[in-house]
Amino acid sequence: MTTPYPGLTPSHRTRALFKWLALLGAATFGLGLLFARQRALSSFLLLNIGFLGMGLGAAFFIALQYVCGAHWAVALRRVPEAMCGILPWAALGILITILVGRSLYPWTEEHATGMKGVILSYPFVLGRTVVFLGIWLLLVRALVHGSRLQDDTGDASLSESNVRLSAVFLVVFGLTFWVAVFDWVMSLEPEWYSTMYGVYHFAGLFLGAIAAIIILVVWLSRVGPLRSVLTAEHLHDLGKLLFGFSTFWMYIWFSEYMLIWYADFPEETAHFVRRLTGGWGPLFVANMVVTWLIPFFILLPKPVKRNPDMLVRVACMILFGRWLDLYLLIYPAAVGHETVTFGVLELGMALGAPGLFMLVFVRAYRACAPVPIADPLLNASLSHHQ
Amino acid sequence: MSSKTNRRFLLGVFEREEDLLVATDAARTRGFDIADVYTPYAVHGLDKAMGLRASRLPWVCFALGLAGATFKVWFEFWTSAVDWPINVGGKPWNSLPAFVPITFEVMVLFAGLSTVAAFLLGRGLLPGRRAKLAFPGVTDNKFALVLEETDASFDVDEVSAMLRGFGVTHIEERVDQEPL
């Protein structure tokens, strides 16, 4: 099928960069498993939760657009759709972590008692993991498939069936995601619990996905496929979302912190004490500064949200903040809170993640037309204005 | 320009917002002086078509929001740590996390109310101001474009012909001190 939109053909150098980064990450992970197993597994969990956030965040973005009947982002929809391509990899990574990384989870050794013992029993956790990952993969796959099929058939009823599918996905995602992060991340400290934990992870997940969408659409508008598509109007709306969800993340962060600070129960404050002592304090503050404080003031004026260069810089800062946030959630619990552990292993794997992500993204993006050419809302999206 | 001087205006009334948008855009690109445009609701893209400069209201919003937040932090510090310290749950007098929610609320209140107040003051919309309509129905279903006849080169027949090309339903000339 011919389209007026050029396909994505990254230069040889760009592809080589992604490949070498991914190889670097894989090599450091392999060596890490041999020499510093706990750190390697913790980093592996961190990056796979990050990948999961990218995939589910992108799917959430698509689903939200469908159920709202929003037209503005239709022309850019292939970007979040291709981001969903990382989901099977993230699912595999999380499954491997649960199967191989039992040493991360104290409850696999010292069993809890009562209801908590039932919820944190290994077969039950493994079963939930498989079910959640399976349902998400099936729903997201169907959503992306429906959108791609429309390119060939031009059938407008596919939009309607995707609206229904999106509604199902949103409900299922909302009911399962918080349990999943309880199982995979919060249970690293099984004696600590917070009812804000699920929504806190959701805030970070969607924020990270918006930041990635911004970087990718700007990149694609520079290298070809979205050159005649992406306008300052689209960027303005994406910038507003980035601004809004950066603030939403901070709001949820503070809501969790303040309730625990106020009540001052030792078993609850332990979580924050571990992250404020032993050299973690500056990172704890830096997390808020790079994810919210600086982005908030930079993104306030309207012209910044319409400027691709500025928006990409802020998005990069927020993605770094996402890594730092997950690092602060996982490392003090799984590796040790007495000292800050960061070395070649963490750096190598963190650099490998964007390499692998981009390899998967480019492959998924090239699998179909760069713009949903048969979507009934495409023209409205192309001429979108505030 | 002295406020006593009478000015000449040409008023064109449209039935559809699309017609108004293209007519306004054409008037601006042809260099006519757009005195004002009256619509029953906010029309997207009209600010661009009129060539309006960016509003300064966001600055009022930002400055007063910041002032409100600063004032509230100081006030809470003064009430709970200086003027009448009360021991609440053994917390220090000056407990910043406890001040945050109210600081946030007061910031939003100051920012919101001051923006509305600045808008009303800036437009002179004080209590007792009588409503004057540019044309009956501009608060209902009509759209009015008001051009000012700034110099002799403004040819009323030519401009009227142009507006008719955009589907104008009514044209009239006015002589007044202000567009309204």
pLDDT digits (tens, 9 = 90+) for A355-370: 999 999 999 999 998 9
Contact B62 A300 (CB under 8 A): yes
User: Is any Cβ of chain A less than 8 angstroms from the Cβ of B119?
Assistant: no
Q: Is residue A385 part of a domain?
A: no
Is some CB atom of chain B closer than 8 A to the CB atom of A258?
Answer: yes
Q: Do residues B18 and B107 share a domain?
A: no
Position A6 in a domain: no
Phi, psi dihedrals of residue A170, rounded to the nearest 5°: -60, -40
Inter-chain CB pairs, A–B, below 8 Å: 21
Residue A1 in any domain: the answer is no
CATH number at residue B15: 3.30.70.120
pLDDT of residue B149: 84
Whether B2 maps to a domain, the answer reads no
User: Which residue range(s) make up the domain with A146?
Assistant: 12-376
pLDDT of residue A3: 67
CA distance A177 to A160: 25
Flag residues of chain A having pLDDT under 70: 1-3
In a domain, B127, yes or no: no
Q: Which residue of B has its CA nearest to A256?
A: B97
Residues B159, B140 share a domain: yes
CA-CA distance, A82 to A148, in Å (whole number)? 11
Token couple for B120: 């009303």
Q: Give the pLDDT of residue A6.
A: 85
Q: Work out the pLDDT band at B132, boundaries 50, 70, 90.
A: confident
DSSP result, A299-311: HSSHHHHT-HHHH
For chain A, the straight-line distance linking the first and the last C-alpha, in angstroms and rounded, comes to 32
* A382 is a domain residue: no
B47 in the same domain as B75: no
In this structure, is residue A67 part of a structural domain?
yes
β pairing state of B170-176 and B143-148: unpaired
B101 CB within 8 Å of a chain A CB: yes
Q: What single-letter DSSP state applies at residue B11?
A: E
What is the model's pTM? 0.90
Task: Say whether both B113 and B154 belong to one domain.
Answer: no
| Contact status of A35 with chain B (Cβ, < 8 Å) | no
B contacts of A257 (beta carbons < 8 Å)? 97
Q: Does B78 touch chain A (CB under 8 A)?
A: no
pLDDT at position B1 is 45
Q: Please tell me whether residues B26 and B68 are part of one structural domain.
A: no
Which pLDDT value is given to residue A2? 55
* d(C-alpha A375, C-alpha A234), whole Å: 17
B100·A258 Cβ contact <8 A: yes
Domain count, chain A: 1
In a shared domain, residues B77 and B165: no
Please spell the DSSP secondary structure of B103-130, one letter per residue.
HHHHHHHHHHHHHHHHHHHHHT--TTPP
B173 has a pLDDT exceeding 90: no
Across B8-25, average pLDDT: 92
Which residues are B173's β-sheet partners?
A: B10
Residue numbers of B between 126 and 165 with CB closer than 8 Å to A:
none
Among B140, B131, B179, CA closest to B15: B140
Q: Give domain status of residue A383, yes or no.
A: no
Q: What whole-number percentage of chain B has pLDDT above 90?
A: 48
Shortest alpha-carbon distance between residue A3 and chain B (Å): 30
Do B11 and B48 lie in a common domain?
yes
To the nearest whole percent, how much of chain B has pLDDT over 70?
97
Is residue B87 a part of any domain in this protein? yes
Q: What is the pLDDT of residue B3?
A: 53
CB contact under 8 A, B58 and A264: no
**Is there a contact between B12 and B145 (Cβ–Cβ < 8 Å)?**
yes
The model's pLDDT over B55-67, given as tens digits with 9 standing for 90+, comes to 899 999 999 999 9
Contacts of A300 in chain B (CB under 8 A): 62
A386: closest CA of chain B, how far (Å) = 7
- Please check whether residues B48 and B63 belong to one and the same domain: no
Would you say residue A4 lies in a domain?
no
Q: In the prediction, which pLDDT does A1 show?
A: 47
Q: What is the mean pLDDT of chain A?
A: 94
Is B1 a member of any domain? no
Quote ipTM for the complex.
0.79
Query: In terms of domains, do B49 and B137 share one?
Result: yes
Question: Has residue A280 been placed in a domain?
Answer: yes
Report yes or no on B63 lying in a domain. yes
Amino acid at the residue B128: G
Residues of B in contact with A299 (CB under 8 A): none
Domain count for chain B:
2
Q: Identify the DSSP state of A233.
A: H
Q: Which structural domain range is residue B81 located in? A: 57-122
Is B64 contained in some domain?
Answer: yes
Q: Do B97 and A385 touch (CB under 8 A)?
A: no
The minimum CA-CA distance between A241 and chain B, rounded to whole Å, is 18
Determine contact: B87 vs chain A, CB below 8 A. Answer: no
